[in-house]
Structure 1
Amino acid sequence: MARRSAPRGLRHQIAIAAAQLIAEQSDLSFAQARNKAAKRLRCTDQRQLPENHEIEQALKSHLELFQASSQATELHHLRESAVGAMRLFSQYQPRLIGPVLTGIANRHTPITLVLFSDTVETVAISLMDWKIPCQQRDVLLDYSHKKRIARTVFSFQAGTHQVDLLVLPNTDRHNLPLDPIEERPQKGASLNQLLALLEQD
């Protein structure tokens, strides 16, 4: 709440710097990019830190200004790769979330798919059966009612694109983690919805 009363100058600079970091290193979260940008600009006042939606707007402006000629093509390729991954993991009823869905993505942006499975091991076995080398990690996700829950992510390379598989239990099907920008439960896109988006690209 206190951040919103901060002067616009430094706050805006931090948002721009954070956006540049995300454009260059898409594996950074908004919080990580904000903290790095604040450190780079020697800001220690929490009131000066921009909200996620301010960083998102700065990122959108950055991509339009510096990567306009290539961003649309790269986004189309990312979505095509997402289609392939969603077809491969169709048994887990995948949903696309994140920047590749919202359109604020470049070639460095990972493709994030939600897979529904009551056991992480089932997804791990599928990856082994298909001989897909991957890395596994746990992430803390925010849910409604101020809940924070650890979930598992598998990451692998599909050509030049990184694919992150976020494994959620079936009970999460109608209660996805909160969107880091809007702070509301994410909806994600099904394969058919993504195909419709591709037709519009």
Structure 2
Amino acid sequence: MNGRHASQAQGRTHEQRRRIAVEAARLISEGGLRDYRQAKLKAAERLGIFDEASLPRNREIEEALREHQRLFHAEDQAQTLRRLREVAREAMRFFARFEPRLVGAVLEGTADEHSAVCLHLYCDQLLEVEARLLEQGIPFETQTRRLRLDREASGDFPVFLFSADDCAIDVTVLPYDRLRQAPLDRISEKPMQRAALAAVQALLDDRP
């Protein structure tokens, strides 16, 4: 009897995790939320689920997001993704001297109209990146971002935010010696997927 009840409880928890993941994916895709934890907490609240064990992992939300886009926004999402990758290519050419790498949703294929083009630049002189923007008269904002460098170490890194072709560009500047190893991905906790300019061009060439 206890075993059956435990199995039923486990099934309910699994179903609740799935419901929260699906709602969180909808909030991300249609509501513009970017933070996965915020999205799943808001989704749980909307569904009236307040059990911490029922909160899905980020990986589950990522899977639900891909499914949502495939079911409801396949054509529009494909066009948006291509446009963002084209903008990424031009931004990478602009920052070519800083060994740019594309990261995030635009690379992974889950980007939508709310997504920014996220780049990592590698440079030991932050003022050189700033000067590159200033010399072209590009207005920008600055902030910092904490990245996990490995399982034990994290660091705060400068970020430049600006727009190009009506797209948000989000540039994180890391020391040049970090080019050898990517920071950890917040979802998989493995080294972040990155792409150099040639790889981004290959993605564009593979699309009609």
TM-score (norm 1): 0.91
What's the counterpart of residue 41 of structure 1? 47
How many Å separate the matches in 1 of 2:44 and 2:178? Answer: 35
How many Å separate the matches in 1 of 2:61 and 2:33? Answer: 15
Is it true that 1:173 corresponds to 2:173 in the alignment? no
What's the counterpart of residue 130 of structure 1? 136
Q: Offset of 1:48 from its aligned partner? A: 0.8
How many Å separate the matches in 1 of 2:41 and 2:26? Answer: 13
Q: Offset of 1:187 from its aligned partner? A: 3.9
How many Å separate the matches in 1 of 2:32 and 2:200? Answer: 21
How many Å separate the matches in 2 of 1:110 and 1:6? Answer: 36
What's the counterpart of residue 102 of structure 2? 96
What's the counterpart of residue 151 of structure 1? 157
Is it true that 1:14 corresponds to 2:20 in the alignment? yes
Is it true that 1:62 corresponds to 2:68 in the alignment? yes
Say if 2:27 and 2:33, in contact at 8 Å, map to a contact too: no
Number of equivalenced pairs? 198
* Residue type of the alignment partner of 1:183: E
How many Å separate the matches in 2 of 1:77 and 1:191? Answer: 15
**Measured at CA, do residues 61 and 184 of structure 1 come closer, stay the same or move farther in structure 2, by a change above 3 Å?**
same
* Residue type of the alignment partner of 1:143: L
Q: Offset of 1:189 from its aligned partner? A: 0.4
How many Å separate the matches in 2 of 1:194 and 1:73? Answer: 16
Q: Offset of 1:79 from its aligned partner? A: 0.6
Gaps of 5+ in 1: none
**Measured at CA, do residues 29 and 119 of structure 1 come closer, stay the same or move farther in structure 2, by a change above 3 Å?**
farther
* Residue type of the alignment partner of 1:85: A
* Residue type of the alignment partner of 2:81: L
For the pair shown, which has the larger CA radius of gyration, 1 or 2? 2
Q: Offset of 1:125 from its aligned partner? A: 1.9
**Measured at CA, do residues 162 and 193 of structure 1 come closer, stay the same or move farther in structure 2, by a change above 3 Å?**
same
What's the counterpart of residue 193 of structure 1? 199
Moved over 3 A (4+): none
Say if 1:5 and 1:47, in contact at 8 Å, map to a contact too: no
SS of the counterpart of 1:140? strand
Percent identity between the two aligned chains: 38
What's the counterpart of residue 34 of structure 2? 28
Is it true that 1:113 corresponds to 2:112 in the alignment? no
- Quote the RMSD (CA, aligned, Å): 1.8
What's the counterpart of residue 6 of structure 2? none
Gaps of 5+ in 2: 1-9
